[in-house]
Structure 1
Amino acid sequence: MRLEPIAAPSWQRRLLPPALALLTTFALAALLAQIAGGEPLSIFGLILTGAFGSKFALLETLNRATPLIFTGLAIAVAFRAKLWNIGAEAQLYAGAVITVVLGTGSLPNLPAPLLLPILGAAAVIAGAGLLLVPALLKTRLGVDEVVTTLLFNFIFLLFVSYLLEGPLKDPMGMGWPKSPRLDPEARLPRVFDGLRLHWGFALALISALLVWLINTRTTLGYEMRAVGQNAEAARFAGIPVTKVILKTALLSGGLAGLAGYSEVAGLKGALTLDLSPGFGYTGIVVAMLALLHPIGVVFAALFVAAIFVGADSMSRAAGVPSYLADIMLASALLLMVLAILLSKFRLRRD
């Protein structure tokens, strides 16, 4: 048996395998819920209610989806050009660190309408700069970016730990490793008073729209797709492959940096080592579920956020471990990768 590429897959071929992957994921989750002693339909109902059953639950889901949209977009942009960025977690923290450095008195007497865009731009530059290093190593020396971006996650988290125990440690934090809180002018305002949803969610939606426009309406978007399809053919056609990869790295890293800016300026108000519970890695799941489509990333991020938020509520109500959500997402990722493969290739007998 061998895999044979499909020259022009039909829309049924493109959509049916991903749909079957999601259905299989839910079937597996139902089986595990049954084994854990729960009623599958009741479990799914509790997850749905916990994620969307009230105004508070809905806003918490949107809140959780915000960094996932940014990291999902970062991964989707990079993967479409075959730049395997596994380091969105480090780029997120890079954006968070520069936000704290500049937002805790380094830029005094600036009003919020001026300070907030400066902090956002700085976060974009920090995230972009961090991914630019592996991109240069890839294009200049042929170093595998999967290895370098993955290792950067651990290296940068250790650097953040050093900062929180040293230069950025809050002197009023009673010994806890956390940074000083941002100035009030450096905080993203809340959408609703008394609730945690902030305007970073709107920024994430705008970012998804802009990425879609770049992909579909600009020369860079065409070049990224061409390089992702076949780098050698793109080079033969006159596309500057190296420059395209570097531009892709800057865009991808900048989007991940915005996730850190959003979490610090919009939600937490200070930098801690547990700022991200793995948003950078979960962004890979989001991007794959969205089939690397920027608008699809928004819906995939909402889906993943709903599972996490709803699973917490479900666990308290039904006594079923919330690890069910992790199993669902891991299964969805593996099955979606297989679905993408089957949508582009068919099995042939030699």
Structure 2
Amino acid sequence: MRLERRPHRPLVLVVLAPIVAIVAALLISGGLIALDGANVLDAYWQILVGAFGTRLGITETLTRATPLMLTGLAAAVAFRARLWNIGAEGQFYIGAIAVTAVASTLFAGWPPHLIIPASLAVGALGGMLLLLLPLALRLRFGVDEVVTSLLLNFIVILFVSMMIEGPLKDPLAFGWPQSVPVPTDAMLPKLVDRTRLHIGLVIALVAAIVIWLVQSRTVFGLQSRAAGLSPPAAIFAGVPLGRTLVVVACISGGLAGLAGAVEVIGVKGYVTTDLSPGYGYSGIIVAMLANLHPLGVIAAALFTAIMFVGSDSMSRALGVPSYIADVTVALSLLTMLISIFFTQYRIRR
């Protein structure tokens, strides 16, 4: 028995890979649920009911999926060009603190139709600049961006903590470590009244469509794919590799920074060090489940959000720990990597 690389990846295997991965992850998680003494089918039914059974559940699922779509797109864009952006969590936070700083000071008093797009642009710009630093170290000195972008996450968290304990501390928070709130005029409009669902969902969906069109219909999209498939071959074919990676970094970091800005002016209204429950890291899982396809990111983000929101309902109904959602999402990444492997290789006798 030996492994043989496929001459090309069959479309049916590419489509089935994420489905098989999710089913396998659910089966393994089901075993853990059964060990806890709960009925597996009842547990998964409670997850669906919690995510879609009520108006609140539906809107909370979509609200949770919004930043996951943006961070998933950030990872997908970078990974397709073989730029290993593991720093989306830090870019998320730098976008969040940047939009809070400018919206509460420089942009204060601006009308909503100006302050909202300006704030989103500042958040995206913060994420761009943060990712350009690891890329510059890679292009200039050959430093692995996996390490630098990952370590920057922790540096940014400490920076955000310093800002909300210092210059941006809310004096009316009774000592609670949070930033000053952004002006009411800077908050994103709600899609559904008396819920947290905001127009950021539309922004994320439009971003996914635009990224798909750019990657599939433009010269830059072809260049970024070529850079990911084989950098030496791309250079030989005349692709400006450095310039292409800079643009990819701007898009990827900008999307992650935009996710942080959207979460602040769409949901929270201020920044805390627990603003993100791991959106940047979960975005990597979302991108892999989507097989790095921008439109697939939408479905993968919805699946991840369903698990996170529905697991709380399952925990209340059956007493199963809600951490099973984290286990399932993590398992889906592992099973997806195995599925991708077998779309590229086959077993031969």
Partner of 1:44: 44
Q: Secondary structure at the match of 1:68?
A: helix
Query: CA-to-partner distance for each residue in 1:8-31, whole Å, 9 max, x for gaps?
Result: 122233234433222211111211
Structure 1 residues 16 and 193: CA distance shift in structure 2, 3 A:
closer
Deviation at 1:105, TM superposition (A): 3.0
SS in 2 for 1:346: strand
Contact 1:105 1:183 in 2 (8 A): no
Q: What one-letter code is carried by the residue in structure 2 that aligns with 1:291?
A: N
Aligned to 1:283: 283
Percent identity between the two aligned chains = 49
**Partner in structure 2 of residue 129 of structure 1:** 129
1:33 aligned partner: 33
Aligned partner letter, 2:227: V
Match of 2:326 in 1: 326
Question: Which stretches in structure 1 are left out of the alignment for 5+ residues?
Answer: none
1:335 alignment partner in structure 2: 335
Q: Read off the aligned partner of 1:116 and give its amino acid letter.
A: I
Q: Does 1:239 align with 2:239?
A: yes
Corresponding position of 1:112:
112
Q: Are residues 348 and 246 of structure 1, via their aligned partners in 2, closer, same or farther at CA, if it must alter by over 3 Å?
A: farther
Cα distance between partner residues in 2 of 1:27 and 1:108:
51
Letter of the structure 2 residue corresponding to residue 334 of structure 1: L
* 1:30-68 residue CA offsets vs partner (Å, 9 max, x unmatched): 111111110011001000000001111000000000100
Q: TM-score scaled to structure 2, two decimals?
A: 0.98
- Structure 2 partner of 1:302: 302
Partner of 2:66: 66
Output one character per residue of 1:68-112: Cα deviation in whole Å (capped at 9) or x when no partner: 000000000000001000000000011101110111132233100
Partner Cα distance (1:329, 1:18) in 2: 12
Amino acid in the other structure paired with 1:80: R
Maintained 8 Å contact 2:18/2:290: no
Query: In 2 relative to 1, CA 16–298 (structure 1 residues): closer, same or farther, beyond 3 Å?
Result: closer
1:249 paired with 2:249, answer yes
Deviation of 1:348 (Å): 5.0
Q: Is the 8 A contact 2:108 2:183 kept in 1?
A: no
Query: How many angstroms does 1:342 deviate by?
Result: 1.1
Other-structure match for 1:160: 160
Structure 2 gap segments, 5+ residues each = none
Q: Which residue of 2 aligns with 1:192?
A: 192
Q: Which whole-Å deviations, capped at 9, do the CAs of 1:239-267 have from their partners, x for residues lacking one? A: 01111111110100000001001110000
Aligned 8 A contact 1:59 1:196 in 2: yes
| 1:149-228 mapped onto 2 (5 Å cutoff) | 149-228=149-228
**Shift, 1:312, TM fit:** 0.6
* Local SS of the residue matching 1:264: helix
- Return the offset for 1:2: 5.5
Provide the C-alpha distance between the structure 1 equivalents of 2:12 and 2:215, rounded to a whole number of angstroms: 23
1:172, CA displacement in angstroms? 1.4
Deviations 1:203-234 (A, max 9, x none): 11111111111111111111010000000000
Q: TM-score, normalized by length of structure 1? A: 0.97
- The 1:108–1:14 alpha-carbon spacing in structure 2 relative to 1, beyond 3 Å, is closer
The answer (yes or no) to whether the contact 1:81–1:224 under 8 Å persists in 2 is yes
Letter of the aligned partner of 1:175 in structure 2?
Answer: G
Q: Determine the structure 2 residue equivalent to 1:10.
A: 10
Say what the alpha-carbon RMSD is for the aligned residues: 1.2
Distance 1:99 1:23 in 2: 39
Q: Distance in 2 between matches of 1:224 and 1:38?
A: 47
| Aligned-residue offset at 1:3 | 4.2
CA distance in 1, matches of 2:303, 2:149: 26
* SS of match in other structure, 1:195: coil
Secondary structure of the residue that 1:243 maps to in structure 2?
helix
